[in-house]
Amino acid sequence: MTGVVLVDAGGANLGSVRYAFERLGARVEVSADPGIISSAERVILPGVGAAAAGMARLHELGLVSVLRGLRQPLLGICLGMQLLYESSEEGGVPCLGLLPGRVARMSAADGARIPHMGWNRLELVGEPDPLLDGMGGGEWAYFVHGYAAPVGPETIARCVHGTPFSAVVRAGNRWGAQFHPERSAGAGARLLGNFLSERLQ
C-alpha cells in the first residue's frame, strides 16, 4: 500500500498541496498511474482551472473509472471537489458523479465580487465529521473560485459570499474542500492532518 497519493491531473496547486502534506510528516507520491492510485491508503484530487479541462484530463489519463471505484478516503480540493459532483455548469460538463448535484456559477448578490478570491469564515453544519475535528466554526480559509456547489445534505461546512455555498462536503468515503487548505494556515493544516488520521474511515 502507498500512503498518500496526489492524482497528477495537471493541477497548478499540485506542488503546494504535496508540500503541505509533507510538512505534516506524510509520505506523499504524485502519480497518474491507475494501479498506484487504486492501492493508496489516501487519495487526493487537487485541481485549479476549468471543469471541462479537468474532466478531459482525467478521461485522457484513464482515471475516471479508477476514481469512481475507490473505497479508501478520497479528498477533492478546489476544482477537485467540484469534479466529484454529477456535473458542472462550467462548460456544461458531466463530472465524476460521486456526489449528487450540479456545480453552478456563483451569484454576485449583495455586491459580492466574482470570482471569490480571498479569506472567508467557515460555518460548520450538520453532524460532526472527523475531517473537521478540532474546528469549532469561524475558522478562516482561503478561496479562489467562481463556481460552487450548493448547500445540501452532504455539506459539513458552508461559507457565504453573496449567497451560501458548500465549503466542505462529505458522502461516504469522499470528502471535498472548496477552499485551498494548503494556503489556509492553521485551519488548512488541521483539515489535512485530520485526513491523514486513522479516525477517518
**Active-site entry in 78, 139, 145, 154:** 78
| Closest to 134 (Cα-Cα) out of 69, 55, 188 | 188
H or E segment and range at residue 3: strand 2-7
H or E segment and range at residue 43: strand 40-45
Q: Is the dihedral of CA 82, 178, 106, 142 positive or negative?
A: negative
Catalytic site includes residue 95? no
Catalytic site includes residue 78? yes
Residue with cell 456526489: 99
- By DSSP bridging, strand 140-145 and strand 116-121 are antiparallel
**Active-site entry in 90, 139, 154, 182:** 182
15 phi-psi bin (left φ>0, alpha ψ -120 to 50, beta other): alpha
CA distances from 192 to 24, 59, 102, 177, 196 (A): 8, 27, 25, 10, 7
Show which residues are catalytic.
78, 180, 182
